[in-house]
């Protein structure tokens, strides 16, 4: 059976050129990048080249890039690190604040939300900004939420379920005017959209390699020079002390190569993939009665569409499609198996039933027109079949008519 993969927001395949770049560091080039002999120095040179490649992707300086195990670690380090740095400064008698306060949104990834909730248990106050029907926060509400104790604004660049792209440039201006540190989770935007940390006035940015054709288990945290950030791990002096531990040289090399490839093909990939995404979205909406796209009025990443198919259970549809050879998802891969409806979809106003009836299709660099045709044939037929088995849907349609 030929299989079609439309779940690239969950993970991507490692590009052949990325794998080729990594392979020497999984065998002959096995040196520890912290060693001073020739083996170690060759590994160090490869790590520093990758640091330059990742920095170039987001407009940063190489010394501002710290390699991590992925986006979750980077998010945790950014949020905990800022909060703990403020605590340390107060302990040392530098500055004063009535209580630490963080601002985020209701549709963040759980790597951000759960970190904020953990800090709340430690006495940090957190404001969760609501979003509109398209998944946008209100910059004016953000401005009003800032107060004397605000130490961090953390708002994701692109949402993993909707693809909605937040107005980071405006948010960055607000943060800079208030002298508040600004972090973004760019896991779903890095490698898909142009990102310039200086234009966006970012102090901290998280990214993850497996979202743009590097291997799993490698990511990076951008830390603007001068940003007050407490280290979370303690050990050696690797990566300026921010992230001690022997570097994952092969993974870092893969991340660097993937960043280089993404930077070169960014505009071409976006144009091609967005055209395919639009054809898929419009085709499904025209073929499946009562369906609607979520966040369709927003600026979105070029590869993502989230569609509600009333009258079905999303997980049942995912399984039915998978049995026929099409992979997609009901939302964030990190939430697979969750009983609760998507917090992102309920935050934009969908009912729990509507949220559970929604599927995310996320295209990739190598998605073909033929694969979109396959999805356009398969999905409507599967929805019709599931709706035939749904007494709820039959009752709803009878009421509408």
Place of tokens 């033929």: 370
With residues binned 3-state (H G I as helix, E B as strand, rest as coil), the percentages for the chain, rounded to 5, are 45, 15, 40
CA–CA gap between residue 117 and residue 119 (Å, rounded): 5
Among residues 161, 186, 156, which one has the least CA distance to residue 346?
Answer: 161
Q: Which tokens belong to 122?
A: 């430690």
Do the beta carbons of residue 358 and residue 174 sit within 8 Å? Answer: no
Among residues 84, 46, 79, 50, which one has the least CA distance to residue 67?
Answer: 50
Task: Identify the bridge partners of residue 5 per DSSP, sorted by sequence position.
Answer: 327
CA–CA gap between residue 80 and residue 75 (Å, rounded): 8
Among residues 44, 45, 46, 64, which one has the least CA distance to residue 55?
Answer: 64
Active-site residue 116, yes or no?
no
Angle between the N-to-C axes of helices 369-388 and 314-324, in degrees from 0 to 180, rounded to the nearest 10: 130
Catalytic residue among 334, 336, 349, 388: 334
Total Cβ atoms within 10 A of residue 154: 25
Calculate the alpha carbon distances from 53 to 136, 180, 247 in Å: 31, 28, 16
Do the beta carbons of residue 307 and residue 292 sit within 8 Å? Answer: yes
Among residues 275, 261, 281, 283, which one has the least CA distance to residue 192?
Answer: 261
Q: Answer positive or negative: Cα dihedral of 31, 35, 41, 46.
A: positive
CA–CA gap between residue 97 and residue 87 (Å, rounded): 10
Task: Identify the bridge partners of residue 204 per DSSP, sorted by sequence position.
Answer: 183, 223
CA–CA gap between residue 140 and residue 142 (Å, rounded): 5
Among residues 234, 236, 232, 237, which one has the least CA distance to residue 221?
Answer: 232
Please give the positions annotated as active site: 334
């Amino acid at each position: 059976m030929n299989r079609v993969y439309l779940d690239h927001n969950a993970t991507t395949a490692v590009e052949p050129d990325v794998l080729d770049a990594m392979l020497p560091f999984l065998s002959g080039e096995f040196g520890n990048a912290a060693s001073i002999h020739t083996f170690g120095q060759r590994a160090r040179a490869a790590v520093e080249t990758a640091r330059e490649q990742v920095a170039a992707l987001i407009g940063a300086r190489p010394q501002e890039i710290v390699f991590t195990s992925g986006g979750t670690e980077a998010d945790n380090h950014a949020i905990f690190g800022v909060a703990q740095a403020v605590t340390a400064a107060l302990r040392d008698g530098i500055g004063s604040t009535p209580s630490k306060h963080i601002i985020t949104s209701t549709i963040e990834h759980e790597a951000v939300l759960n970190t904020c909730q953990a800090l709340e248990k430690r006495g940090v106050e957190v404001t969760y900004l609501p979003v509109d029907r398209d998944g946008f926060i209100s910059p004016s509400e953000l401005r009003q939420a800032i107060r004397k104790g605000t130490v961090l604004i953390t708002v994701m660049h692109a949402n993993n379920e909707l693809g909605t792209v937040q107005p980071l440039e405006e948010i960055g201006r607000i943060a800079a005017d208030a002298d508040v540190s600004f972090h973004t989770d760019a896991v779903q935007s890095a490698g898909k959209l142009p990102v310039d940390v200086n234009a966006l006035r970012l102090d901290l940015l998280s990214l993850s390699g497996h979202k743009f054709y590097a291997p799993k288990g490698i990511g990076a945290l951008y830390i603007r020079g001068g940003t007050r950030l407490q280290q979370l791990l303690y050990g050696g002096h690797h990566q300026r002390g921010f992230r001690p531990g022997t570097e994952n040289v092969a993974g870092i090399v893969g991340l660097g190569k993937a960043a280089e490839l993404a930077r070169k093909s960014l505009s071409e990939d976006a144009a091609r993939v967005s055209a395919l995404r639009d054809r898929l979205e419009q085709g499904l909406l025209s073929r499946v009665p009562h369906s609607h796209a979520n966040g369709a009025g927003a600026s979105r990443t070029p590869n993502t569409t989230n569609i509600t198919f009333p009258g079905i259970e999303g997980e049942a549809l995912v399984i039915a499609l998978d049995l026929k050879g099409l992979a997609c998802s009901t939302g964030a891969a990190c939430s697979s198996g969750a009983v609760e409806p998507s917090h992102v979809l309920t935050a934009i106003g969908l009912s729990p039933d509507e949220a559970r009836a929604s599927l995310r299709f996320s295209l990739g660099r190598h998605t073909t027109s033929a694969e979109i045709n396959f999805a356009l044939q398969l999905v409507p037929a599967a929805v019709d079949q599931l709706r035939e088995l749904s007494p709820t849907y039959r009752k709803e349609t009878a009421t509408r008519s």
